[in-house]
Amino acid sequence: MVTIPRVVIAAPASGHGKTSVATGLLAAFRARGLVVSGHKVGPDYIDPGYHALAAGRPGRNLDPWLVGEEAIAPLFVHGATTPVPADIAIIEGVMGLFDGATGRRHVASTAHVAGLLRAPVVLVVDASGMGRSVAALVHGFSTFDPSVRIGGVILNRVGSARHEQILGDALAEAGVAVLGALRRQDSLATPSRHLGLIPAAERAADARRTVAALGTAVGGSVDLEGVASVARSAGPIPAGDPLLGALERPSEDIAAPVRVAVAGGAAFTFGYTEHTELLAGAGAEVVRFDPLRDERLPDGVDGLVIGGGFPETHAADLSANAPMRADVADLARSHRPIAAECAGLLYLAATLGGSPMCGVLAADAAMTDRLTLGYREAAAPYDSVLAAAGTRVHGHEFHRTATRPASGARPAWRWHDGRDAIVDGFVQGNVHASYLHLHWAGSPGIAERFLAACRAARHAGA
């Protein structure tokens, strides 16, 4: 058992300001000399990018649907102690406090994760247009599930000192501590587009300024010691799990490690931190590259991982980098394993919005008017570099694009959406490409299987 001060930042619904408050808390505590660790409930890739800027270390995701309940505590402990133990961990919730996977009650909700982590909750409430009713709202959330402990409230978008007093008096009657009140500050808003907030990696200096401003605003308006006190009230949490060993780097005696290139840069910002850690733990040398800026893959690459992101926003620049596109196509022809998710699928296609891409797959991709979003329980219909035929996985989709065709002769995954059987993606030689996002910590063996395929391909090409 380990004791890590931790608090969950939740809200009655989306749009109340969880991300701003969580990011601001991370920045404010760090500015005061504390080591902080940021975590996000759910599959979202974008919020952890802002957490990482504020904390100075990778943001982490905690999603019971993707990784299983039993992995949540060890993943949290790993993240909160890597590279060094944090003085406080801030865990941002998803949607409303009790909103979980559709049709599965509380599963993957913020309340579910708070329970698995034995963590208290601070509720962020958008108080604009609200007076004494705030007490009724908070009372309902405090009593709905007795297993969820709400340690206080942070009021957001408060209009004036008088408004703050009205809200505070009402909550005092309800016996709920007010830990802070943030005034309306439109200048702190983070710009959005078709899939939500613009990732921090695409905004660079602007994102850093936003995070610093959030830290200043939260530091000046929130009782940080009060929040820390709530976080310290969290009890011990179990730490032992085989997963933690898999996330550790291999010993120095591993000869000739497999060299795996992982796409990054502004166009490929979606990826769970644990993926590269699991690859390294299985014996890979992980090297980063940017398909927008680099003209060639890193030397001596045995395999390639291209995660999610926004290639549709950068299609012209990706297309203009013809040397990189040709290098990726050559790697595929050499039968080196390639694992591509969502954005990676689009990059491997023949075209994206009419712009030439790598041409590894005989498919054309384009934007649509439809948002495809949700959890999926899928099965692998064929053997691939990621999974043996019949393997079942939990994943999620998050895109406004489509490919024609939607799948190849050998689809990557198959699932049922409640009405129709869905096939998705492509298994083509040693290429695995689909829209489905996985968290490899929830699918034991993926990293090892991928590296085994890399070693086999290296040996065959030697």
| Secondary structure (DSSP) of 190-211 | PPEETTEEPPHHHHTHHHHHHH
For residue 95, is pLDDT > 60? Answer: yes
Helices (H), 82-153: 110-116, 133-143
The tens digit of pLDDT for each residue in 309-367 reads 999 999 999 999 999 999 999 999 999 999 999 999 999 999 999 999 999 999 999 99
Residue-level pLDDT at 250: 59
Nearest by Cα to 199 from 50, 391, 2, 359: 50
At the topology level, CATH places domain 247-461 in Rossmann fold (3.40.50)
Q: Which helix (H) or strand (E) holds 377?
A: strand 364-379
- The rounded distance, in Å, linking the Cα atoms of 433 and 388 is 15
Model pTM? 0.93
* Portion of the chain with pLDDT greater than 70, in percent: 93
Domain borders along the chain are: 6-232, 247-461
For residue 400, is pLDDT > 70? Answer: yes
Classify burial at 404, counting beta carbons within 10 Å of its beta carbon; exposed 0-12, middle 13-18, buried 19 or more: exposed
Residue-level pLDDT at 194: 47
- The rounded distance, in Å, linking the Cα atoms of 146 and 405 is 49
Highest mean pLDDT out of 104-108, 260-264, 309-313, 368-372:
260-264
Q: Do 217 and 210 contact (CB within 8 A), yes or no?
A: no
CA torsion, ordered 229, 230, 232, 238, to nearest 10 deg: 180
Structure tokens at 192: 């959005």
For residue 203, is pLDDT > 80? Answer: no
Residue-level pLDDT at 102: 64
- The rounded distance, in Å, linking the Cα atoms of 124 and 434 is 36
CA torsion, ordered 149, 152, 157, 158, to nearest 10 deg: 140
For residue 275, is pLDDT > 80? Answer: yes
- The rounded distance, in Å, linking the Cα atoms of 228 and 5 is 8
Q: How far is CA 256 from the centre of its chain?
A: 31
Nearest by Cα to 4 from 239, 226, 247, 225: 239
Confidence of residue 444 (pLDDT cuts 50, 70, 90): confident
Confidence of residue 266 (pLDDT cuts 50, 70, 90): very high
The HSE-up count of residue 112 (CA atoms within 13 Å, CB side) is 24
* Portion of the chain with pLDDT greater than 90, in percent: 84
The residues, ordered by sequence, that sit 6+ positions from 206 with a Cβ below 8 Å of its Cβ are: none
Residue-level pLDDT at 146: 93
Q: Which CATH architecture has domain 6-232?
A: 3-Layer(aba) Sandwich (3.40)
Q: Do 82 and 248 contact (CB within 8 A), yes or no?
A: no
For residue 245, is pLDDT > 70? Answer: no
Q: Do 312 and 319 contact (CB within 8 A), yes or no?
A: no
Residue-level pLDDT at 418: 74
The residues, ordered by sequence, that sit 6+ positions from 129 with a Cβ below 8 Å of its Cβ are: none
Tallying the residues shown for the chain, one arrives at 462
Q: Which helix (H) or strand (E) holds 413?
A: strand 413-416
Determine the average pLDDT of the residues in 28-34.
Answer: 98
Residue-level pLDDT at 125: 98
- What's the mean per-residue pLDDT of the chain? 92
Determine the average pLDDT of the residues in 6-31.
Answer: 97
DSSP assignment of 62-83: E-HHHH-HHHHHHHHHHHHHSS
Determine the average pLDDT of the residues in 107-118.
Answer: 96
Nearest by Cα to 22 from 42, 146, 3, 106: 42
The catalytic residue positions are 342
Helix (H, G, I), strand (E, B), or coil: what is residue 315? helix
Amino acid, single-letter form, for residue 129: G
Determine the average pLDDT of the residues in 289-316.
Answer: 96
- The rounded distance, in Å, linking the Cα atoms of 444 and 340 is 18
